[in-house]
């Protein structure tokens, strides 16, 4: 049985944002806190992806090299 998501803990943070962005967000009824949270989450995901790729660069190159030399494993079973 699925458990309901626990409420995320939140902490107040002081940040500086362009006055024009704040004015536009107010006119468009954008929740600044949620928009900032979404943007920060995307930046974190991108950074983690780049770190993972850097940490696994040799393995990725090795795998790509294998496929270049030998083709895809089990390729004969692909229906397309």
Per-residue pLDDT of the chain (80 residues; tens, 9 = 90+): 555 566 778 899 999 999 999 999 999 999 999 999 999 999 999 999 999 999 999 999 999 999 999 998 888 888 87
16: which 2 tokens? 């500086």
Measured between alpha carbons, how far is 76 from 80 in angstroms, rounded to an integer? 10
Q: Residue with structure tokens 């902490």?
A: 11
Q: What is the DSSP letter of 74?
A: T
CA atoms within 13 A on the CB side of 8: 5
Confirm if 32 and 15 have CB atoms less than 8 A apart. no
pTM for this entry: 0.70
CA atoms within 13 A on the CB side of 44: 6
């Amino acid at each position: 049985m699925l458990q309901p998501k626990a409420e995320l803990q939140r902490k107040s943070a002081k940040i500086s944002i362009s006055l024009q962005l704040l004015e536009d967000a107010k006119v468009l009824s954008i929740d600044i806190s949620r928009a900032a949270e979404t943007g920060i989450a995307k930046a974190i995901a991108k950074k983690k992806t780049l770190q993972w790729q850097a940490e696994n660069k040799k393995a990725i190159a090795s795998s790509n090299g294998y496929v270049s030399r030998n083709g895809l494993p089990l390729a004969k079973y692909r229906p397309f």
